[in-house]
Amino acid sequence: MKTIRELELAAMNIRIQLLTLCNKEVIHIGGDLSVTDVMTVLWQYQMKYDPQNITDESRDRFILSKGHASAVTSFNQASVGCFSAQDVIDEYAKDQGRFSMHSCNLVNPYVEVSTGSLGHGMPVACGVAAGLRLKGNYTSRVYTVMGDGEQSEGSIWEAAANAVRYRLGNLIAIVDNNGLEADGRIDEVTGLGNIADKYRAFGWNTVEIDGNNVTEIVRAFDELPSADSYLPTCIVAHTIKGKGVSFMEDQIRWHAGKISDEQLVACIADLRANYESKWSI
């Protein structure tokens, strides 16, 4: 089990890998960086998943509803042994490669479900969670990561209602609430208001955290109700788009993009300096 310090180091390394890829290809870098801490803790601390036995019925399932966060997902899968980080960098967006702007299980067997159309993954996760219950599996969880702009899709709320109706305590929905989508600020584009309050109104166990604080993320996972409980959980992770890169933070411009060689060197130096400053003895 990794410590907080080890998880923060792991998150820094994931950010470096993302930026290295962003130097080669256009990726959804802003949203990848905002959800890096959550994804790192989820894959490298929380989830029960053996890359050597990916059909094990006792495994936890992960479904990426926020489909454009495929790069941060792939690098975390690499961190647990599904493939190498260099594989992701070399194959990304290449013909017949396993990695692209949206995850696809036709070419990558470590992807449970192909996603990309917003509002798609949450209903699928709800169905998978219900299927596990029908099979008598009360030990595995289903995790889905969504964007905040995605919450304007009606399919999200149909799934939210059904998860409560069918008592799916094995379903954990995580909202990357960075306040920005491709067209602008969430409140200006869709006027969603308080997302956490909406899940509470639907009857979910709802937790709000600083989604860029590894300690808070670990605590939220540690305090989850047992997988055999009957109330689904929504973790609303308040994050900063582009987190960790000063010129990208909270900037719509960096919903997607590519960085120069000079920017890559400067970004990596800043990430390492910030980590070492925090953890210096």
Region 8-15 average pLDDT: 97
pTM over 0.85? The answer is yes
The position carrying tokens 């917003």 is 118
Region 187-213 average pLDDT: 94
Least confident of 32-36, 117-121, 159-163, 221-225: 117-121
Is the confidence at residue 225, as pLDDT, over 80? yes
CB count, 10 Å around CB of 137? 17
Residue 10: CATH number of its domain: 3.40.50.970
Give me the number of domains the chain comprises: 1
Is the confidence at residue 191, as pLDDT, over 90? no
Instruction: Tell me which residue of 254, 252, 264 sits closest to 27, measured CA to CA.
Output: 254
Contact 119, 158 (CB under 8 A): no
Instruction: Tell me which residue of 138, 126, 139 sits closest to 165, measured CA to CA.
Output: 126
Q: Which domain holds residue 72?
A: 4-279
pLDDT value of position 93: 87
Span 160-172, pLDDT tens digits: 999 999 999 999 9
Is the confidence at residue 281, as pLDDT, over 60? no
Mean residue pLDDT of the chain comes to 95
- Percentage of the chain modeled with pLDDT above 90: 85
Span 84-115, pLDDT tens digits: 999 999 999 888 889 988 888 899 999 999 98
Least confident of 115-119, 197-201, 264-268: 115-119
Region 41-50 average pLDDT: 97
Span 135-152, pLDDT tens digits: 999 999 999 999 999 999
